[in-house]
């Protein structure tokens, strides 16, 4: 099944233009800062223009079309990503938005997520450095240190049903208030537990979708880059609870798997599908750097690794990424 077609069925849902109020949190200290006035009152107009990198629920993804005829000298699942003249991020930055009154900075889930993102891009992170081989006419991505620019605690309650356009509106408010560089900034929206989505989240309020997703990234019509990272434990094992282990923080492993998958794709294909993508494989897996290796699920004829990645901020469950240089799914550059 084409996961992009699955998503398209949900994207037509009307946007719910709910007022958004937020409290900024210092990325360094984790302490409340000034309330961004631009996030209050009438939302900034925006809608989602393109969406890619949909992470399917664990065990439901359709794998590579290994029976397809060879194209351009390769046969799936061994075809590399191709470049399609669009941009990549050159100096990627992350803006985390914790959306909903249930989030607590003292919570184990919040701590797991913030430690994970703060560790991405650090000198010991050889996982994300895989993305640096994928450039555009302006150069290649630079991953030389922690990439978190800001963290927000948005205390507004999400509406009854969240659509892609709702997320575009929220992300645009963040981008406008902080004057982010839209070409290099990924607005990652982490919705509180219990949030319902119109487009097929696998843990969406008792309304199962087949096959269902765990996250996606995309670009709004105004150029703002958005990642939808729902509350992964709401979907249980379908979105990574106890994926590689049990006990401790294992129930939050989906946040690092899905978050890493989407951010790597935001770097290499920020405006889907114009950057680096395997068009031979796009209708089967999604075709982006994370899609081809999703969840470390076995693929006939190719090794798809998964495991724990050690960052300066801790050890996190991760899937592999596709490396053109090594012609396969890899855990390090």
Question: Could you give phi then psi for residue 34, rounded to 5 degrees?
Answer: -65, 145
Task: Compute CA distances 74 → 27, 39, 66, 296, whole Å.
Answer: 44, 48, 11, 22
The predicted-structure confidence for 121-142, as pLDDT tens digits, reads as follows 999 899 999 999 999 999 999 9
Residue 21 or residue 247, greater confidence: 247
What one-character DSSP code corresponds to residue 81?
A: P
Q: List 188's β-bridge partners, or say none.
A: 96, 227
Q: How many domains does the chain have?
A: 1
Q: What does pTM read for this prediction?
A: 0.88
Looking at per-residue pLDDT, the higher value among 3 and 219 belongs to 219
Name the β-bridge partners of 306: 319
Lowest mean pLDDT among 17-21, 25-29, 115-119, 291-295: 17-21
The residue segments making up the domain with residue 81 are: 3-330
Residue 105 to residues 29, 77, 115, 269, Cα–Cα distance (Å): 11, 42, 12, 31
Query: Any residues with CB less than 8 A from the CB of 214 and at least 6 apart, and which?
Result: 55, 56, 57, 58, 201, 202, 230, 232, 235, 238, 239, 240, 254, 258
| Three-state DSSP state, 26 | coil
Confidence (pLDDT) at 71: 64
User: CA 51, CA 227: separation in Å to the nearest integer?
Assistant: 9
In sequence order, which ranges of 161-304 are alpha helices (DSSP H)?
Answer: 164-178, 253-268
The answer to whether 17 and 169 have CB atoms below 8 angstroms apart is yes
Percentages helix, strand, coil for the chain (3-state, rounded to 5) are: 25, 25, 55
pLDDT tens-digit readout, 150-195: 999 999 999 999 999 999 999 999 999 899 999 999 999 999 999 9
Structure tokens at 55: 């992470």
> What gap in Å lies between CA 217 and CA 50, rounded to an integer?
9
Which backbone phi and psi does 25 adopt, to 5 degrees?
-125, 130
Confidence check: pLDDT of 8 > 90: no
Residue 52 scores a pLDDT above 50: yes
Burial of 141 (0-12, 13-18, 19+ CB in 10 A): buried
**pLDDT surpasses 60 at 80:** yes
């Amino acid at each position: 099944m084409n996961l992009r077609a699955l998503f398209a069925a949900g994207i037509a849902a009307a946007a719910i233009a709910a007022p958004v109020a937020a409290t900024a949190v210092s990325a360094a200290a984790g302490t409340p800062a000034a309330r961004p006035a631009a996030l209050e009152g009438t939302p900034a107009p925006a809608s989602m223009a393109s969406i890619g990198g949909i992470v399917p629920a664990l065990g439901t993804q359709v794998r590579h079309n290994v029976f397809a005829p060879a194209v351009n000298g390769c046969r799936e699942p061994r075809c590399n990503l191709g470049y399609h003249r669009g941009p990549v991020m050159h100096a990627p930055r992350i803006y985390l938005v914790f959306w909903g009154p249930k989030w607590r900075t003292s919570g184990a889930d919040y701590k797991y997520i913030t430690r994970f993102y703060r560790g991405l891009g650090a000198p010991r992170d050889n996982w994300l450095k895989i993305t640096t081989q994928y450039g555009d006419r302006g150069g290649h991505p630079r991953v030389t240190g922690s990439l978190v620019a800001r963290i927000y605690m948005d205390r507004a309650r999400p509406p009854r049903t969240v659509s892609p356009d709702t997320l575009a509106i929220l992300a645009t408010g963040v981008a406008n208030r902080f004057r982010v560089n839209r070409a290099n900034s990924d607005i990652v929206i982490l919705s509180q537990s219990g949030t319902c989505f119109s487009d097929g989240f696998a843990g969406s309020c008792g309304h199962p979708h087949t096959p269902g997703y765990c996250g996606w990234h995309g670009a709004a019509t105004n150029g703002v880059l958005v990642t939808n990272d729902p509350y992964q434990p709401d979907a249980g094992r379908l979105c990574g609870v106890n994926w590689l282990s049990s006990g401790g923080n294992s129930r939050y492993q989906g946040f690092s798997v899905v978050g890493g998958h989407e951010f790597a794709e935001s770097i290499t294909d920020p405006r889907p599908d114009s950057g680096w993508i395997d068009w031979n494989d796009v209708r089967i897996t999604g075709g982006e750097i994370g899609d081809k290796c999703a969840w470390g699920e076995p693929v006939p004829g190719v090794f798809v690794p998964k495991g724990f990645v050690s960052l300066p901020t801790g050890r996190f469950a991760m899937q592999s990424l596709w490396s053109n240089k090594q012609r396969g799914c890899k855990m390090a550059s």
